[in-house]
A and B are shown apart, each in its own frame.
Chain A
C-alpha cells in the first residue's frame, strides 16, 4: 500500500462533497478561461498591430474623411516608406447580421503595408488591374463558402447603391493574431462611382496607414505629419497603429478591466470552495491524524496526506474545467454575431494560468488544515470527539 493510495482513498471519502467541490472548481476554471479568452480576443487587434506603422486620421474623429490629396505630401516626409489609404465601406452582405470588415484600399500598396496578409504575386497583379476585384480572408471564404471567381453583392449604406465584387484572391493570415475575416477592394472603384453620383464626396479616404523605416522615429514623424495639415480644413491626428487600436479598445476598456478582475476573483472563489472542503475534511479527521501520529507517522507524512488530497481535488477540478472550456468557447463563439471577434481562440497562456492557479490553490487550501494537524498534540487529537 502506497501513501498515494491512502491519499486517493481519503480524497473520495465523502463522494458527494468531493464531487460538488470538483464541479465547483471546474466551473470556475471554465469561467476564468472564457473571460480570459474574451479579453485576449479583444486585445488581439492591439497585439497584432505593428510598431512601424502609423495611422493618420482626421483629428476630430476617425469617422470623418481625409483628402486623398494629402497622400503625396505625407510620402515626402523623410523616414516614410509607404503611404496607403483605407476607407471603411460598411454595407450589407446577404444579411445585416454578417459582421466583417469591408474596406476600400489601394491595391498598389496595401500588401506593402500589411505583409501579414499572405497572397501570391499573381493575385496582387490581378488585384491591381481588375477594378471590381476583391481579396478576402481565408476565414471569411470558409464561412461563406466563397471560391475564386465568385461574385459578392454588397448593398451600400455609407456608399449607397448595389456593388458587385469578384473574388480574385484569398489571403492567408501570417499567424493566429492576424484577422482573416476582412474583405479588401479597390478604393478607385468606389471613388469613380462617387465622382458620378455625389462628386462632393469624391477624392476622400478614411485614414492612411503609413509604413516608416524606424519605429523609434514614430513620434517625430507623427508630429511632422500633423504639422503639415495644421490649420487646414482637415487637421490630422497621427499615432502608432498600436495606440490607434488601443484607442479603439479603450472605449470598452472599463468592461475589459472588469472582466479581467472578475477572472482573478474567480480564482479567489475556487480557493474558498476548496479551502472550505479541506478544512471540513481535516477537522473531521483530527482524531485519525492523532492515531496516525501515534502509529509513528510524522509531520512530513501528514503534510503529504493533506496537501496531496487537496492537490488531487484541485487538479481534477482544473482538468475537468479545461475539458469543458473548449466546447464552451466554441459554443460562445457560435452564439456571438459572426466575425464579432475576428480572432477568438484559447491562448496557451490562459491554459497555463488556469492550470497553475488550480495547482497553487490546491497548495494554498491545504495550509490551514496542515497547520492545524501539526499543531494538535496526539493526546488532544485522541480526545477529540467528532
Chain B
C-alpha cells in the first residue's frame, strides 16, 4: 500500500528567549494508508509537535513531510490553509468547539469554506452527526453537552469535509473511562469502516491498544 504520510529526517527547534530548544531530532517515519497509529511518550517528548507538523499547522526546521504525495513543507500559508481544510480532520484534547455555535453549526463551520450548497452542507452535517450518534443533539450548544458528547461533535466536525487523514491529540485525555471507550470505538470505526488514516497522540495504554501501530517518542527521538 502507498504511504499516506512520509516524514523524512525532520527536525524542529523552537526559539525561546534567544535560546534554541531542540524538540524533534532527525525523525523519520512512514505511515501507510489506512493505518491507525498511536504516538506515545512522556510529557515534553515532542508528540504534539510531530502531530502539528503532520497536520500542516507548523513547519519543520529541517526535513520534508509528504502527505498524500504533497510536500507540505513547501506550500504557501494560503495553500496550506486550503490543503488542511480539505485533507485533514482535527480532534483536540479539549474539544475546541465554538461555544456560541450549536452542534450543527460547529460541524458546519469547516464546510462554509467549501463550495457546497446549503442543502449539501446540511446533508453532510446530518450524516456526520449520525455517525457519531448525536442526531438528536444538533441544536444543543457545547455547554449543554457532556465532555464525551462534545468530543463526538468535534469528531463529526473533523469528518464533515471527508478528509483522508485524521489527527487527534489526546482525544480521551479529558474524559472518563466510559466516554473514552466510546470515543475510541468511534475512532476505530472511522479507521475500519471509513478507511481514514488516523494519527493519534495518547498517554492512555488502553487507547493505544486500539491502534494498529504504536510508536514511542523520547526527548525528540523516535524509538524503535
- Mark A residues whose CB is within 8 Å of B: 1-3, 6, 9-10, 13, 287-288, 291-298, 377-379, 382
Binds A, one of B61-69, B103-111, B199-207: B103-111
Stretch at the interface among B77-85, B173-181, B190-198, B215-223: B77-85
Task: Say yes or no for B188: interface residue by CB 8 A criterion.
Answer: no
- Most chain A CB within 10 A, of B81, B85, B157, is at B81
- Which residue of B has the minimal Cβ distance to A300? B78
Write the B62-100 contact mask toward A (1 if CB under 8 angstroms, else 0): 000000000000000110011011100010100010111
- The one of B78, B90, B98, B101 in contact with A294, judged by C-beta atoms closer than 8 angstroms, is B90
Q: Which residues of the partner chain B approach A10 to less than 8 Å between Cβ atoms?
A: 100
Shortest A302–chain B CB gap in Å is: 11
CB-defined contacts of B100 to chain A, threshold 8 Å? 6, 9-10, 13
A296 to chain B, nearest CB (A): 3
Q: Do A293 and B92 have beta carbons less than 8 Å apart?
A: no
Contacting residue for B101 out of A6, A296, A377, A382, CB 8 A? A6
Complex-state Cα separation, A187 to B115, whole angstroms? 83
12 contacts between A and B (CB under 8 A): A1-B109, A2-B112, A6-B98, A6-B101, A291-B98, A295-B85, A296-B82, A296-B85, A296-B86, A296-B113, A379-B58, A382-B92
In the bound assembly, the distance between CA atoms of A297 and B113 in angstroms comes to: 7
Q: Which residues of B contact A (CB under 8 A)?
A: 52, 55, 57-58, 77-78, 81-82, 84-86, 90, 92, 96, 98-101, 105, 108-110, 112-113, 157
Q: Which residues of A contact B101 (CB under 8 A)?
A: 1, 6, 9
How far is B105's CA from A1's CA once the two chains are assembled, in angstroms? 7
Smallest CB separation, B128 vs chain A (Å): 14
In the complex, residue of chain B having the shortest beta-carbon distance to the beta carbon of A6: B101
User: Which residue of A1, A9, A291, A378 is within 8 Å of B58 (Cβ)?
Assistant: A378
In whole angstroms, what is the CA distance A308 to B110 when docked? Answer: 20
Can you name the residue of chain B whose Cβ is closest to the Cβ of A296? B85
Contact B98 A288 (CB under 8 A): yes
B-side interface mostly: helix
Which one of B57, B77, B110, B112 lies within 8 Å of A379 (CB-CB)?
Answer: B57
A327 to B58, CA, bound (A): 57
| Chain A residues within 8 Å of B113, by CB | 295-297
With the chains together, A110 CA to B112 CA distance in Å? 72
Inside 8 A of A3's CB, which chain B residues have their CB? 112
Q: Which residue of A lies closest to B58 (CB)?
A: A379
Cβ A291 vs Cβ B110 within 8 A = no
- A214 CB → nearest B CB, Å: 67
C-alpha gap A275/B60 in the complex (Å): 36
Closest to A381 in B: B57
CA distance A14 to B101 in the complex (A): 14
Interfacial chain A residues near B92, Cβ < 8 Å: 291, 382
Are A295 and B110 in contact (CB-based, < 8 A)?
yes
User: Smallest CB–CB gap between A125 and chain B, Å?
Assistant: 74
User: A293: nearest residue on chain B (CB-CB)?
Assistant: B81
**Extra 5 A-B pairs, beta carbons < 8 Å, given A3-B112, A295-B157, A296-B82:** A1-B112, A10-B100, A291-B96, A295-B84, A379-B58
Closest chain B residue to A13, Cβ basis:
B100
A382 to B90, CA, bound (A): 12
The distance in angstroms between the C-alpha atoms of A293 and B52, with both chains bound, is 13
Give every chain B residue within 8 A of A378 (Cβ-Cβ): 52, 57-58
Q: Is the CB of B105 within 8 A of A297?
A: no
Most B CB contacts (10 A, CB to CB) among A1, A6, A377, A378 go to A1
Provide the residues of chain B in CB contact with A291, threshold 8 Å. Answer: 92, 96, 98
- With both chains docked as a complex, state the minimum distance between the C-beta of B43 and any C-beta of chain A, in angstroms: 14
Q: Is the CB of A1 within 8 A of B108?
A: yes
* Chain B residue with the shortest CB-CB distance to A12: B100
A6 to B105, CA, bound (A): 9
Distance (whole angstroms) from the CB of B6 to the closest CB of chain A? 22
Contacts of A9 in B (CB 8 A): 100-101
- Which A residues are CB-close (under 8 A) to B112? 1-3
Closest CB-CB distance, B78 to chain A, in whole Å?
6
Residues of A near B52 (CB, < 8 A) are 378-379
Q: How far is the CB of B146 from chain A (nearest CB, A)?
A: 20
Question: Separation in Å of the B25 CB from the closest CB of chain A?
Answer: 18
